[in-house]
Amino acid sequence: MDVVALGESMVTFLPSRPGRLADVPSFDRGIGGAESNVACVLAAAGHTTRWISRVGADGFGDHLVETIGGYGVDVSHVRRDPARPTGVYFRTAGDRATDAHEVAYYRAGSAASAMTVADIDLDAVRAGRVLHLSGITAALSADCLALMRELTAPRPDRPLISFDVNHRPALWRDAHGPEVLLELARGADIVFVGDDEAREAWGLHGARAVREALPEPEIVVVKQGRGGAVALDKDTDDLLCEDATGTATFVPALKVDVVAAVGAGDAFAAGFLSATLRDLPVRDRLRHGHLTAAATLTTPGDLAPPPPRALADRLVALDDTAWGRLRLGPGWTRADEDGRAEKEARTP
């Protein structure tokens, strides 16, 4: 496998119209899960991927396994739990960044929260070139945290560990969540964290402070929202410089006509990991992350097919001026296979 992803996925109910959850009359069914999202996008990009988790022996579990498997993800190691349900959640149509956004989770005691070191096939988990994890799993239960500690522990034969911090304060049962996330991040090789998460969880301001707090990972990617993202490499005497030289690389975000913001972080991680598997330069990895995020931002759901590789490679190769002029809107990924479509991007 290129990538194995472990974590909970839930059935998500998306509102049929904007408004409060109390007022929305009906919902459309989808799926949502940080790790499975990454696996699905990478599979759509042509990589071999596996998703490992537990779901209930119920119809919602059937839907998750069938839908994720439909993206080409290997789901043969997903366990079915006859005693615990598949998690579900409902959300409003608004942007998560606004006060009007509501999410109602029904995941306490879910099948995925019962994952343990003893009942997970660790050989299957470690069978990829990359193992992708997130901080959400650690918050689900004490057993899930023990599993995360086992998977991020140093060992000579482990895969490259990719860790998305995904700080979700409401999931943690006590005040130790931030320190646990810091511990797990320090055990990873690639770390993704938003600068807003770093401020909220750790009181850290800026990529310089985040890199100082995470000296062990090979690369730390600090996402700065609409500003862009900076990747800080480990191997440098001048590690903490924050310009576009040496091993600290900043790439500005693209101008995007946003349809829905949900899932963009997972898509960014998938794009970055795809380029990492191709051994592309760090700048190109960041650009692929932005482009894959833009594919999700310009569609209504949590998941969207990534841009065709030829198109993405062509846009990644643009000079800085042309990159800065790009503006992507709905439908931009539907370019011809050679990437020559005239409407894949608009420029001012």
Question: DSSP per residue over 42-81, as a string?
Answer: HHHTT--EEEE-EEESSHHHHHHHHHHHHTT-B-TTPEEE
Only one residue has tokens 């439908």, namely 331
19 in Cβ contact with 92 (< 8 Å) = yes
31 in Cβ contact with 159 (< 8 Å) = no
| Beta strands, E only, the chain | 3-6, 10-15, 27-32, 49-52, 54-56, 79-81, 88-91, 103-106, 130-134, 160-164, 190-194, 219-223, 228-233, 248-252, 255-256, 327-328
CA distance linking residue 87 with residue 113, whole number of Å: 9
Phi and psi, residue 240, nearest 5°: -95, 5
In sequence order, the β-bridge partners of residue 12 are: 30, 89
CA distance linking residue 27 with residue 99, whole number of Å: 21
Write out the two tokens for 141: 């239960």
Show which residues are catalytic: 266
CA distance linking residue 103 with residue 91, whole number of Å: 4
Write out the two tokens for 89: 């959640």
Counting DSSP H helices and E strands in the chain, the numbers are 12, 16
